[in-house]
Chains A and B, each alone.
Chain A
Amino acid sequence: EVQLVQSGAEVKKPGESLKISCKGSGYSFTSYWIGWVRQMPGKGLEWMGIIYPGDSDTRYSPSFQGQVTISADKSISTAYLQWSSLKASDTAMYYCVREATQYYFDYWGQGTLVTVSS
């Protein structure tokens, strides 16, 4: 069974750093792109970027380029999303997704809620 299991909810202060994770299982982790999707409170889905764990090729939405870093450790089948300096506007639910053959997402993680508040 394919699963994407994300790390737990986080509460942080503005300016702090954070790295959340997404562990894949039940499939060949290095053979599928893993992406990240943001959903701010009460809002829609936003595409952040994607990584191919096989060779760490990474692409970012222009809206998120320079704001976050996407990485992966294929030895433990885990992808990451990290911030070096959080802002209150980063408060959101973050989903990791597996990209199937072309540009659609067949499996979603359960989501990680990030709350940034002073």
Chain B
Amino acid sequence: QSALTQPASVSGSPGQSITISCTGTSSDVGGYNYVSWYQQHPGKAPKLMIYDVSNRPSGVSNRFSGSKSGNTASLTISGLQAEDEADYYCSSYTSSSTDVVFGGGTKLTVL
């Protein structure tokens, strides 16, 4: 099962908005509304930021939002802050035998 495709890196200045894409197929991202996003700071466990494409768990800043169009999901972070600098991973249900597939991860640098 191939990982979902994410850009290796993105960057932005404080206060700006950035978007991270996550491209799959009709067997995963495009076929189901089960896309989630995770933030991972160095040396830490990942943290759930978005689930079911666009829902935020309690306690996650509303600067984080998710969306999907066709086979591509997106995570948008608005009003970038230094603390947002981290690795971000998307994940999706897949109708293949694995049930779940992750993206390769995107390193966000806040300039």
Contacts and interface: CB of A to CB of B under 8 A. Distances in A.
A108 interface: yes
A44 B93 contact: no
Given A45-B89, A110-B45, A104 B52 contact: yes
A108 B47 contact: yes
A103 B93 contact: yes
Interface size class of A (residues with CB under 8 A): 20 to 34
B38 A59 contact: no
Contacts, number: 67
A95 interface: yes
Given A104-B34, A104-B52, A46 B46 contact: no
A111 B101 CA distance: 19
Contacts of A27: none
Interface of B: 1, 3, 34, 36, 38, 45-48, 51-52, 57, 89, 91-93, 97-105
